[in-house]
Amino acid sequence: MKKKIGIHQLYSEDPVKADELVWGRQSDPDSRRGFLKKSGLAAMGMVLGGTVVFAENMPAGLIPAGLLDLAQGSPIPGKHPDLIVLNDKPWNIETPAHLLDDEVTPADKLFVRNNGLAPEKIDVAAWTLTLDGESIPEPVVITLADLKSKFKHYTYRLTLECGGNSRAEFNPPAKGNQWANGAVGCSEWTGVRLRDLLEYAKVKKDAVYVGYYGKDKHLNNDPNKVVISRGVPIAKAMEDESLIAFAMNGKDIPLMNGHPLRMIIGGWPASVSGKWLTRLSVRNIVHDGPKMESPSYRVPCKPVAPGETVKDEDMCIIESMPVKSLITYPKSGAMITSDKVLKLRGHAWAGDKEVVDMHVSIDFGATWQKCVLKAPHNRLAWQRWTADVKFPQKGYYEVWAKATDSEGISQPMVVPGWNPKGYLNNATHRIAIKVQ
């Protein structure tokens, strides 16, 4: 069941609280007069398409009229109004496939997956990153300013996909956010290499895993409870593209995507890319932070029948994500005329591997047409594919898209490998086309 939360619903429960969430408005409980900070004001201006001239007169808890037409939209500042809200506590927001058409996913179209409450106050000037753990001789604290000025910067486009993306298609259903296909994106990240930081902190030879800690708060507000602390084996941490990023698409990372500092690990479930990063714990064992334990972000080590119960010890940690693709143009349901060639487009990716082949079918998988496929901009970036398709007669069609990775593994046409938590569904993406 999809839970969509529109702006009205958000405001109906507690408009003043909603205001605080949406715009960061701090309200005076006595006068109910809103006080908007500069950032909230700027966000409001951006969403409404112009500076709010008399903002200081705006009562707290008032839904801007300019937002009313955006009804079902995402109420998060800086996020496109057509993103779909699956949950608001915590925020889980996905991007419809047709909004993922850009080669580089813009900030307003990158999905949000929070496990807890995003930090409310970010003090960039006071932000530090600590490196500690069994495999670091002496804990090291680096200020954000030093991290930016003392280490070499690298920029990569990296595909981030939630391990639970496309969960909605599993049957029997798996609990959790019922993502359709839009918990994925490929933005351009700038930061320092995780490897450079580890070497600076004199990482020991016995290092096994790098675990992250972020500044978000547990849903129950308990400051001592860690929301999520996952990470990657040392070999993945040492790769060129494993970044500690402070910028996305040449700007500050959006608040909901981890501003001012986050880990970015392309090709692996995005849950290993820690947001609001404050600490890296370099472990001499497989990291054991919250949500590393079974069954979180794990799948059965051996395939199981749909609905089967799997023991915790028979679940294995997800590493590289499987081959997958999206049709990003046209939007599902598009109507075209029968004399037209339809120019389809999308992206394909394959975890740590590359996509080497891309096909589409308009006859429910009976025959497949080869697509034009571009090389990735850099390793671990998704790849653009295009195809010119003609439809033989008027009627309803489905376009199915199928990518094949460098090991010859293709996307399945039916939902693969049912698993208790509903991870790793990489079945072919399907859209509807009506030819008139």
Ligand X SMILES: Nc1nc2c(c(=O)[nH]1)N[C@H]1C(S)=C(S)[C@@H](COP(=O)(O)O)O[C@H]1N2
Q: Is the Cβ of residue 177 or residue 361 nearer to Mo ion in the bound state?
A: 177
Which part of the chain contacts ligand X (CB under 6 A), choosing from 128-136, 190-198, 271-279, 417-425? 271-279
The dihedral of CA 303, 304, 309, 311: what is its sign?
negative
Per-residue x/- track, 275-294, ligand X (CB under 6 A): xx------------------
Q: Could you tell me how many residues make up the chain? A: 436
Task: Compute the least distance from the CB of residue 297 to ligand X, in Å.
Answer: 8
Task: Compute the least distance from the CB of residue 147 to ligand X, in Å.
Answer: 17
Per-residue x/- track, 143-162, Mo ion (CB under 5 A): -------------------x
CA-to-CA separations, 102 to 74, 248, 387, 426, 432, in angstroms, rounded: 19, 15, 16, 21, 21
Alpha-carbon distance of 2 to 383, in angstroms, equals 29
Task: Compute the least distance from the CB of residue 161 to ligand X, in Å.
Answer: 8
* Residue 256, helix vs strand vs coil: helix
CA atoms within 13 A on the CB side of 274: 28
Residue 112 interacting partner from Mo ion, ligand X, none (CB closer than 5 to 8 Å by kind): ligand X
Task: Compute the least distance from the CB of residue 193 to Mo ion, in Å.
Answer: 23
Residue 182 interacting partner from Mo ion, ligand X, none (CB closer than 5 to 8 Å by kind): none
Do 330 and 101 meet the contact criterion of CB atoms below 8 Å apart? no
Is residue 44 a contact point for ligand X (CB under 6 A)?
no
Which part of the chain contacts Mo ion (CB under 5 A), choosing from 110-118, 142-150, 325-333, 391-399? 110-118
Which part of the chain contacts ligand X (CB under 6 A), choosing from 15-23, 114-122, 131-139, 353-361? 114-122
Alpha-carbon distance of 151 to 155, in angstroms, equals 13
265-294: contacts with Mo ion (CB under 5 A)? 271
- The string of DSSP codes covering 56-76 is GGPBTTPPPHHHHTTTTS--S
Nearest to 327 by CA among 181, 186, 187, 183: 181
Is residue 127 a contact point for ligand X (CB under 6 A)?
no
Which part of the chain contacts ligand X (CB under 6 A), choosing from 13-21, 272-280, 329-337, 417-425? 272-280
Residue 110 interacting partner from ligand X, Mo ion, none (CB closer than 5 to 8 Å by kind): ligand X
Which part of the chain contacts ligand X (CB under 6 A), choosing from 53-61, 171-179, 233-241, 266-274? 266-274
The pair of three-digit structure tokens given for residue 44, joined into one six-digit string: 């409001």
Is residue 266 a contact point for ligand X (CB under 6 A)?
no
118-147: contacts with Mo ion (CB under 5 A)? none
Alpha-carbon distance of 44 to 47, in angstroms, equals 5
The pair of three-digit structure tokens given for residue 70, joined into one six-digit string: 């955006």
Task: Compute the least distance from the CB of residue 164 to ligand X, in Å.
Answer: 7
Q: Return the exposure string of 83-110: e unless at least 16 CB atoms fall within 10 Å of the residue's CB, then b.
A: bbbbbbebbbbbbbbbbbbebebebbbb
Report residue 199 CA to chain centroid gap. 28
The strand ranges marked E within 284-341 are: 298-300, 315-317, 324-329, 334-336
The pair of three-digit structure tokens given for residue 347, joined into one six-digit string: 């992206």
Q: Is the Cβ of residue 133 or residue 163 nearer to Mo ion in the bound state?
A: 163
- Nearest position to ligand X, beta carbon: 214
Residue 132 CB burial class (10 angstroms; 0-12, 13-18, ≥19): middle
Residue 275 interacting partner from ligand X, Mo ion, none (CB closer than 5 to 8 Å by kind): ligand X
Do 55 and 48 meet the contact criterion of CB atoms below 8 Å apart? no
How many residues of this chain interact with ligand X, rule: CB under 6 A?
21
- Nearest position to Mo ion, beta carbon: 162
Q: Is the Cβ of residue 181 or residue 271 nearer to Mo ion in the bound state?
A: 271
Which part of the chain contacts ligand X (CB under 6 A), choosing from 140-148, 174-182, 270-278, 397-405? 270-278
Is residue 167 a contact point for Mo ion (CB under 5 A)?
no
Is residue 27 a contact point for ligand X (CB under 6 A)?
no
Residue 111 interacting partner from Mo ion, ligand X, none (CB closer than 5 to 8 Å by kind): ligand X
In 144-254, alpha helices (H): 144-150, 194-200, 234-237
Task: Compute the least distance from the CB of residue 162 to ligand X, in Å.
Answer: 3
Residue 115 interacting partner from ligand X, Mo ion, none (CB closer than 5 to 8 Å by kind): ligand X
Residue 425 CB burial class (10 angstroms; 0-12, 13-18, ≥19): buried
Residue 1 CB burial class (10 angstroms; 0-12, 13-18, ≥19): exposed
Is residue 271 a contact point for ligand X (CB under 6 A)?
yes
Is residue 214 a contact point for ligand X (CB under 6 A)?
yes
User: Footprint of Mo ion on this chain (CB under 5 A)?
Assistant: 113, 162, 271
User: Footprint of ligand X on this chain (CB under 6 A)?
Assistant: 110-116, 160, 162, 214, 216, 227-228, 257-258, 270-271, 273-276
